Amino acid sequence: MAIKNAKAHAAAIVAASVAGLTVIFTSILMQSVDPLLAATLRYCVASLSVLPFLIWNWPAVRKMSRRDFFAISALGVLFYFLFPFLFNQSLELTTAARGSLIMSLLPIMALSIGAAFKVETLSLFKVLGCGLAIIGVGLSVYDGLALGIVGADALTGDMIMIIAVTVAASFTVFSKRYFQKYGSWAVSYIAICAGFLVPLPVTAMVIDFGVLPELTANELTLLLLLGTLGVPVQFGLFSWSLNQLGPSRGSMYIVMMPITATILAVIALNETLTLLFVAGLVLIVGAIILVNREPKTSL
């Protein structure tokens, strides 16, 4: 495997590992903080975090055409505002296990949208890999699914997560051309800032900022981590790997999110691994290998 691809795969694995952390942090935060407030504060922190890099790379940003700048900003609002808001809202209503399982639909959703708009080519390996990944995640989170109570709120949360996955998949597909044209980091800086600044006039009228003094030290710490580690690092590496690997292959690593979350729980909380989890992990690794095989022919 070429060094370039090896680095891209490594970046995707790190991004998925950080994503596992953000699921845990978000689940904790949604127990006491409004989803819209959490998303707004998270990306306020993220925008401030990337601002020095945006200024440093301003010559590359100035090369963007006005049309591309607005298109990237629109994609930023989708991925860096609408997606986390829907994600937060979903985890407020459904369980982390159910949400993780639905998130595993991202690669096949990205592949479907990419094929529909002729951005991605279908292959037998990609289709089989996506299906295998969903089965693997299902096995891995089976215990969490079995313990979860299926009610009206949980089903609503599931539907919201499906919408969130569609939004994320759309970003992975339509951002590809801008990553290739301007570089993943320059595009990410603009998109992250747009995700916070564009909706701000509306969110400022809706959100009750009077609750800010009531936030605990733990809640502020989680928001800080979600805005720094969980955005520039997680999504920056994810975007860079998408640029190198393509939408379907890059997004395949997102199915490792519940896996990394469980492994972290084993390390930090002394939880035990089940045979189903190990079996699911094996299937997911196999799915990633399948998707990244180079087929001789496409479907």
Q: Which residue has the higher pLDDT, 178 or 147?
A: 178
Chain segment 88-141, per-residue pLDDT in tens: 788 777 766 667 667 767 777 777 787 778 776 666 776 777 677 777 767 766
At 276 the pLDDT is 73
Q: Give CA–CA dist 167/111, Å, rounded.
A: 13
Q: Which residue has the higher pLDDT, 147 or 69?
A: 69
Chain segment 210-239, per-residue pLDDT in tens: 888 888 999 899 899 888 887 878 877 877
Q: Give CA–CA dist 288/259, Å, rounded.
A: 13
Which of 219, 94, 242 is closest to 171 using CA atoms? 242
Q: Is the dihedral of CA 238, 242, 245, 250 positive or negative?
A: positive
At 87 the pLDDT is 83
At 2 the pLDDT is 45
Q: Which residues of 221-233 are buried (b: 16+ CB within 10 A; e: fewer)?
A: ebbebbbbebbbe
At 261 the pLDDT is 64
For residue 68, pLDDT beyond 90:
yes
**Confidence class for position 167, pLDDT limits 50, 70, 90:** very high
At 122 the pLDDT is 64
Per mean pLDDT, which range of 51-55, 58-62, 185-189 is the poorest? 58-62
Please, is 79 exposed, middle or buried when counting C-beta atoms within 10 Å of its C-beta (0-12, 13-18, 19+)? buried
Per mean pLDDT, which range of 61-75, 98-112, 125-139, 262-276 is the poorest? 262-276
Chain segment 191-204, per-residue pLDDT in tens: 989 998 999 998 88
Q: Give CA–CA dist 158/138, Å, rounded.
A: 14
For residue 74, pLDDT beyond 90:
yes
Task: State the Cα angle at 250 between 141 and 156, rounded to 5°.
Answer: 45
The most distant pair of C-alpha atoms in the chain lies apart, rounded to whole Å, by 60
Q: Give CA–CA dist 94/236, Å, rounded.
A: 27
**Domain boundaries, given as residue ranges, for the chain:** 3-291
**Confidence class for position 268, pLDDT limits 50, 70, 90:** low
